[in-house]
Amino acid sequence: MNRERVAGKPRLMVPQTAGFVYCPGCHEPLVARAIAEALEDLGMGDNAVGVFDIGCSSFLLGIMDIDSVIGPHGRPPDIATAVKRIYPSNIVFTVQGDGGLLSIGADPLMGVLARAEKITIVMINNAVYGTTGGQMAPTSLAGQETSTTPGGRDASKHGFPVHAAEMIATFKSTAYSVRCAVNNPYNYEQTRECLRTAFTKQMDGVGFSFVEVLSACPSNWHMSPAASLRWIEESLMPEFPLGEFKNVDKME
């Protein structure tokens, strides 16, 4: 009988034998799976290098079976720049949190945007710092209680949530900028397709590509996984609408 594999765990995921590092209900492993599937869809798993940031993204080192680099907090865009310049035909991508990219990592982000680096940045937007215990992030919502905004984020003191995908779309060097989510199977499949598009932009040498993914952090939101799904739809999505903000085949 001729059997074709139509479903199953992506081959680029490391089988988890010991305790799984991510919290119950966390969306980051789903993002990792979508990345692995997108790389497999493109047949590029053998030619991919993932650069993971400090924080929960660093645990991807243990679950994604690809060549990987991890370095100082906030610096994956710099690290990815060098790897991509040395191996231009590889897919080189970073996975970072909202704090890692938009706060401590804002300098290297501006660098790759200014130089039009042909890399992909995947930003996990969960509106808090995860690993360190739920502090305010640049993406925290107005009024959102975090461990460093106990009375809620107050615009007069703490400013406003940063909209990364919209901001990055304004740069001439950006080929592709999108915001997606993995809160249901439909959105998950969309995310996988967006990642394929983002990786294709760098394979075709078009320009910089950016994928922001709204992601649940039940532990730091102090919610159940099910309530977290509702919070994504009712609170995060109105502030951070899903959608494609730029998609071009030529920088100009």
Closest to 165 in 3D by CA, of 56, 111, 243: 243
- 29 belongs to the binding site for another protein (CB under 8 A): no
- 61 belongs to the binding site for another protein (CB under 8 A): yes
- Do 214 and 237 form a contact (C-beta atoms < 8 A)? yes
**Backbone region of residue 143 per phi and psi (left: phi > 0; alpha: psi in -120 to 50; beta: other values):** left
Least CB distance to another protein at residue 87 (A): 6
- 191 belongs to the binding site for another protein (CB under 8 A): no
- 90 belongs to the binding site for another protein (CB under 8 A): yes
Least CB distance to another protein at residue 233 (A): 35
> Based on CB atoms, which residue is closest to another protein, 44 or 178?
44
> Based on CB atoms, which residue is closest to another protein, 44 or 206?
44
How many angstroms separate the CA atoms of 245 and 166, rounded?
6
Least CB distance to another protein at residue 54 (A): 9
DSSP 3-state assignment of 222? coil
Instruction: Single out the residue of 31, 34, 37, 45 in contact with another protein (rule: CB under 8 A).
Output: 45
Which residues have CB under 8 Å from 160's CB, separation 6+? 142
Closest to 164 in 3D by CA, of 217, 223, 112: 112
> Based on CB atoms, which residue is closest to another protein, 68 or 103?
68
- Do 39 and 66 form a contact (C-beta atoms < 8 A)? yes
How many angstroms separate the CA atoms of 195 and 237, rounded?
19
Kindly identify the residues of this chain, within the stretch 98-117, that bind another protein according to CB under 8 A.
107-108, 110-111, 114-115
Query: What residues line the site for another protein (CB under 8 A)?
Result: 45-49, 51, 58, 61-62, 65-72, 75, 78-83, 85-87, 90, 107-108, 110-111, 114-115
